[in-house]
């Protein structure tokens, strides 16, 4: 099916002036992104092989509930899925759009969390649809249901009547019991590509007969983080605030508290020069322009990322991250800064973000943060040059001739890179990882690795583990951050459907049981039994232990 493309309905059933509702997709053709998912669902309904239950998961505003309604329409449209209503809606599509169809129930699990609510739903499902082919239950934020409610739903979910379909939507799929997830056809809705979202907003702006600069649209796309609803809501707010005039980049920056990346680049230059007065003055100018302290820190992190990884970023890319001038300036900055300084900045900025809600005046926290960064730079650079001096100069040398001095200067970059890398840790297997957690006193991670991780594979900076309900929900995020801190390499941690090895703790336990069994069959133990008939073997330890 090749008709999926960026588009909109020429006839929108919702007359709301709010853009997010006015341009809400009404059929598969209206959707942007998710083409493979749309095609798969379309074909399954077309071939009468639709699933008993669908599960849509993804960030807010990505189209989960919209997808659910479109699937409900595709199942019940009077014209069939291949001729799904676009302009003049049939009675079923009309009712589903207006959320008043007698056979299509939309339920908010946040307010209907109890087992009694689910039992009422199951009781209602016993009756055939009144006016349509299928009875459809759409449950939004399904992860909010209680454990008892999920258990009550299981049997009906696995073997529903032929006329009944479930469609679930959630932002937190990990909170749904695996027994429920396994009974659904799961679709993960990813963030919308920046270029695609940009083109979509341009279409909306043209339909609304408004004038907006491309750079202003790009900033809205960036702030929305791939969420269609957020991008439309932000555009709506910006257009209203601008009072009908041409919407420029500086207008959007002022409305949402964002400034040009060049301002951050200039600030980082001042920090590395150790110019405290100018750095604080520069930040205050940014703050007075309307930027929020938390936005400042997130933008600061983004610039640090570019400085560290500029060699992997193309200036002509379509991700709207850097213009040509910023790209050149960041490239220059990257070449003259120590990698260790950049990583130090990164860690310290993350720490400050976590602390920002602890103070009444975040603005003061940012100023102290910048002063601390300057002292960290001085301290780190002194350590680097001390190490260089120690490795290159003998204690007995009181002077160097000009040729030696030139040679040392030429080697300074190589020595710097050597020192940057000298603290990297070799992690080749799970045991290495557990040991480095112990070394760095990361006891929570160590506990999870030993008790709740079932390893599938460990190689090439990738760790694959099987799904485990006991695993802490922040484990992957925390481990990824620590691995980057310890190795300066981005690791990929994924979940697998494979069973994986038993946990480290169970491996140790099993090994002990094998040793106990072997010892019980040995002559030594038999001799002990002759002396003490009721002896019991509890454990086996090495003499050193």
CB 281 within 8 A of CB 367: no
- pLDDT at res. 41: 93
CB 187 within 8 A of CB 58: no
Q: For residue 459, give the 3-state DSSP assignment.
A: strand
Res 6 pLDDT > 90: no
CB 114 within 8 A of CB 122: no
Token pair in block for residue 36:
């493979």
Task: Please give the Cα distance from 200 to 8 (Å, whole number).
Answer: 9
The HSE-up count of residue 489 (CA atoms within 13 Å, CB side) is 13
The HSE-up count of residue 79 (CA atoms within 13 Å, CB side) is 14
Task: Identify which has the larger pLDDT, 114 or 134.
Answer: 134
Q: For residue 56, give the 3-state DSSP assignment.
A: strand
**Residue range 169-189: mean pLDDT, rounded:** 92
Give the pLDDT band of residue 391 (cuts 50, 70, 90): low
**Residue range 346-361: mean pLDDT, rounded:** 89
The HSE-up count of residue 374 (CA atoms within 13 Å, CB side) is 17
- pLDDT at res. 5: 37
Res 13 pLDDT > 80: no
Res 405 pLDDT > 50: no
Share above pLDDT 90 across residues of the chain, in percent, rounded to a whole number: 23
Q: What does DSSP say about strands 455-459 and 462-466: parallel, antiparallel, or unpaired?
A: antiparallel
**Residue range 453-477: mean pLDDT, rounded:** 83
**pLDDT tens sequence across 63-78:** 899 999 999 999 999 9
518: how many CB neighbours lie within 10 A of its CB?
11
Give the pLDDT band of residue 203 (cuts 50, 70, 90): very high
Res 316 pLDDT > 50: no
Token pair in block for residue 515:
């040793």
- pLDDT at res. 164: 93
Q: For residue 466, give the 3-state DSSP assignment.
A: strand
pTM over 0.85: no
- C-alpha dist (Å) from residue 43 to 7, 77, 136, 365: 20, 15, 19, 55
Share above pLDDT 70 across residues of the chain, in percent, rounded to a whole number: 85
Task: Identify which has the larger pLDDT, 55 or 331.
Answer: 55
Res 530 pLDDT > 70: yes
């Amino acid at each position: 099916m090749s008709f999926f493309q960026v588009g909109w309905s020429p006839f929108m059933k919702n007359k709301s002036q709010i853009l997010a509702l006015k341009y809400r997709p009404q059929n598969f053709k209206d959707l942007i992104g998710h083409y493979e998912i749309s095609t798969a669902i379309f074909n399954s309904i077309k071939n009468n092989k639709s699933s008993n239950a669908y599960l849509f998961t993804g960030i807010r505003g990505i189209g989960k509930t919209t997808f659910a309604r479109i699937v409900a329409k595709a199942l019940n449209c009077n014209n069939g899925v291949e001729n799904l209503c676009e302009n003049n809606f049939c009675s079923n599509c009309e009712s589903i759009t207006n959320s008043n169809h007698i056979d299509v129930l939309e339920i908010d699990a946040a307010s209907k969390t109890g087992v009694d609510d689910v039992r009422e739903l199951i009781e209602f499902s016993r009756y055939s649809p009144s006016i349509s082919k299928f009875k459809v239950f759409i449950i939004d934020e399904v992860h909010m249901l209680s454990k008892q409610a999920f258990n009550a739903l299981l049997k009906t979910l696995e073997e529903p009547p032929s006329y009944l379909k479930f469609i679930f939507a959630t932002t937190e799929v990990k909170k749904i019991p695996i027994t429920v997830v396994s009974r659904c056809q799961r679709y993960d809705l990813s963030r919308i590509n920046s270029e695609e979202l940009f083109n979509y907003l341009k279409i909306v702006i043209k339909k609304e007969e408004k004038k907006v600069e491309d750079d202003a649209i790009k900033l809205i796309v960036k702030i929305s983080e791939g969420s269609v609803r957020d991008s439309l809501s932000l555009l709506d707010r910006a257009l209203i605030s601008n009072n009908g005039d041409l919407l420029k980049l500086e207008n959007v920056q002022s409305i949402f508290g964002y400034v040009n990346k060049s301002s951050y680049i200039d600030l980082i230059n001042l920090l590395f020069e150790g110019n405290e007065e100018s750095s604080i003055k520069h930040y205050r100018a940014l703050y007075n322009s309307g930027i929020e302290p938390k936005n400042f820190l997130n933008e600061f992190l983004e610039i640090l990322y570019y400085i560290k990884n500029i060699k992997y970023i193309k200036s002509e890319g379509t991700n709207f991250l850097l213009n040509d001038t910023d790209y050149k300036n960041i490239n220059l900055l990257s070449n003259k800064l120590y990698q260790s300084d950049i990583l130090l900045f990164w860690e310290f900025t993350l720490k400050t973000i976590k602390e920002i809600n602890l103070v009444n005046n975040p603005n003061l926290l940012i100023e102290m943060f910048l002063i601390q960064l300057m002292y960290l730079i001085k301290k780190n650079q002194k350590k680097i040059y001390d190490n260089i001096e120690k490795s290159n100069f003998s204690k007995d040398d009181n002077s160097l001739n000009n040729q030696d001095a030139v040679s040392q200067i030429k080697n300074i970059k190589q020595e710097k890179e050597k020192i940057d890398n000298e603290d990297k840790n070799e992690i080749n297997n799970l045991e290495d990882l557990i040991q480095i957690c112990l070394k760095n006193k990361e006891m929570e991670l160590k506990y999870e690795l030993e008790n709740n991780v079932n390893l599938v594979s460990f190689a090439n900076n990738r760790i694959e583990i099987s799904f485990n309900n006991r695993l802490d929900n922040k484990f992957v995020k925390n481990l990824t951050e620590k691995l980057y801190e310890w190795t300066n390499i981005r690791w990929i941690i994924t979940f697998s459907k494979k069973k994986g090895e038993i946990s480290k703790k169970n491996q140790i336990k099993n090994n002990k049981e094998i040793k106990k069994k072997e010892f019980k069959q040995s002559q030594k133990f038999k001799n002990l039994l002759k002396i003490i008939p009721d002896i019991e073997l509890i454990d086996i330890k090495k003499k050193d232990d």
